[in-house]
Amino acid sequence: MNEHDMQHQLLVQKATASAEQAHESVSGDYYRQGFHIMPQAYFMNDPNGLVYYKGEYHAFFQHLPFSVHDGEKVWGHVKSKDLVHWEYLPVAIAPSQFYDRNGCYSGSAVDDDGMLTLIYTGYIEREGERTAIQMQNIAFSEDGIVFHKYDGNPVISDPPEDGSLADFRDPKVWKHEDTWYMVVGSSKYGYGKTLMYRSRDLRQWDYIGVAAESDGSMGQVWECPDMFPFEQNTHVFLTSSLIIENGAITGGKNLYMVGSLNYEQGKFTSEYVGETDCGCDFYAAQTLHDDQGRRILIGWMDWHAAPRIEAANNWFGSLTIPRIMTLLPDGGVQFTPVPELQQLREGHQRFKDVTLREGVRGALGDISGDCLEIIAEFELEDAEPAAEFLIALRRSELHDQETIISYNSETETLTFNRDKSGNDFKGSKSCSLPPMSGGRIKLHIIMDRSSVEIFMNDGRLVSSNRIYPHPDSQGLDVYASKGTVKLRQLDLWKLKRVMR
């Protein structure tokens, strides 16, 4: 170990000890998730370095290990054999060098012939300058736990002409034939862009060109790009883009594009554009490829402008459950929960052929819970043109608290509404959801202590959301608010909690 390495290991140990110590008191918080990745304590944002390595799934994440509000980003780390039980590991990398002194920003991981290699952005603030500099770096580990930064860092110190100094981050690397490729998020003149590089050895990188860019409606800065080979000779490109108005972040867009990639010219041609998630809390998604050939996506189930409710309890941030991506016949992508999550199910209840009549509550009897899985199929074919059904979750006895998922057959929209979810945390989000054949709407809902993820029509669309109801608000009801709706079948399970 050289001096730089020793210094880095000391910083890593300090960061790890800080989050570990705070974990004891934080883990008692009611809003801690039961089966989602969270930081042991303090702050989390993007998933980083998702990788299947030596028979296990590793997930790293942007993390502040000393404070829930501010500080310099390190990479937190968890691993799992089954994508459900995640083990907390020591912090992987922390700012220690001139090239990452104000933060180890987002990036990816690859298995380089047994060497787990992280490729990340070093964030450097400059005195008296408004914008920071960003550079790409690498770090290695033989055991997948202790990481050593490369002595030759940065491996890319300057952006090309097509990018900009202040927005040059989040490298995602993959191998195609014998060559490594990298996409990096950027921006130029207010247009989000993705820059593409190639390398033989992960150390020496050559710029190829702009792989994809915004058409003017897709956000000013593209962050966290991901590019990967997909089914039927396609490639999929993912981007998280910032919408900036008067210097402030006012929104985020999560897009996926299915198309083809020309490796020689570094040019991606998109044939289908879809939304990766249409919920209130989702950003910076990344994918991995596992030994079963599955493409699995995990996102940050919050975003930069989220209200950070649990920060009052000294922690903030959750990732989504892992979702399998598959190609749909029309060229779009379907997202479905990994089947490994089914091991959490207990106490199955099934309801069949229930007619939901306008205004009649409680048709399913007394059902409740705060960690639940629901799979429901509704039929609207014979319903009046303006039928509407509702699923009320986390309802209090007086009904003054509840989280509402509603579907309106006239507008063909699904709405998630958290105006009454608790903690004065308000808002709703709608997505357009045409019914499946036979006028069917299928909803697969996975609810943890402080989140609701809704997979619609077999995963054609997904909506991820955080909620903070009172622990006693656990009622569940399914009813029609307009017309008559047929509930073909509803399966309900309680879900075991395995994380703390």
Residues at the site binding ligand FRU, with contacts judged by CB under 6 A: 45-46, 62, 73, 105-106, 121, 169-170, 223-224, 283-284
Provide the Cα torsion 188, 189, 191, 196; round to 10°. -10
**Minimal distance, residue 465 CB to ligand FRU, in Å:** 18
Minimum CB distance to ligand FRU smaller for 169 or for 482: 169
3-state secondary structure of 266: coil
**Minimal distance, residue 444 CB to ligand FRU, in Å:** 27
Minimum CB distance to ligand FRU smaller for 45 or for 415: 45
Question: DSSP for 223-251?
Answer: EEEEEEE-STT-EEEEEEEEEEETTEEEE
Are 310 and 335 contacting, i.e. CB atoms less than 8 angstroms apart?
A: no
**Minimal distance, residue 304 CB to ligand FRU, in Å:** 6
DSSP bridge partners of 300: 283, 319
Minimum CB distance to ligand FRU smaller for 224 or for 452: 224
Nearest to 423 by CA among 472, 470, 466: 470
* CB atoms inside a 10 Å sphere around CB 150: 16
Q: Is 46 a catalytic residue?
A: yes
Q: Give dist(CA 358, CA 380) in Å, integer.
A: 14
**For residue 169, what are its two tokens?**
């981050």
**Minimal distance, residue 107 CB to ligand FRU, in Å:** 8
Minimum CB distance to ligand FRU smaller for 94 or for 356: 94
Q: E strands of 276-427, at which residues?
A: 283-289, 295-300, 315-316, 323-327, 333-337, 345-357, 367-368, 372-379, 388-395, 402-408, 413-420
Q: Give dist(CA 320, CA 488) in Å, integer.
A: 28
Measure the CA angle with vertex 372, ends 370 and 376; round to 5°. Answer: 135
**Minimal distance, residue 145 CB to ligand FRU, in Å:** 22
Minimum CB distance to ligand FRU smaller for 44 or for 380: 44
Indicate which residue of 29, 46, 111, 330 is catalytic: 46
Minimum CB distance to ligand FRU smaller for 172 or for 418: 172
Q: Give dist(CA 467, CA 184) in Å, integer.
A: 33
**Minimal distance, residue 48 CB to ligand FRU, in Å:** 8
DSSP class of 311: G
| Amino acid at residue number 395 | R
Q: Catalytic residue numbers?
A: 46
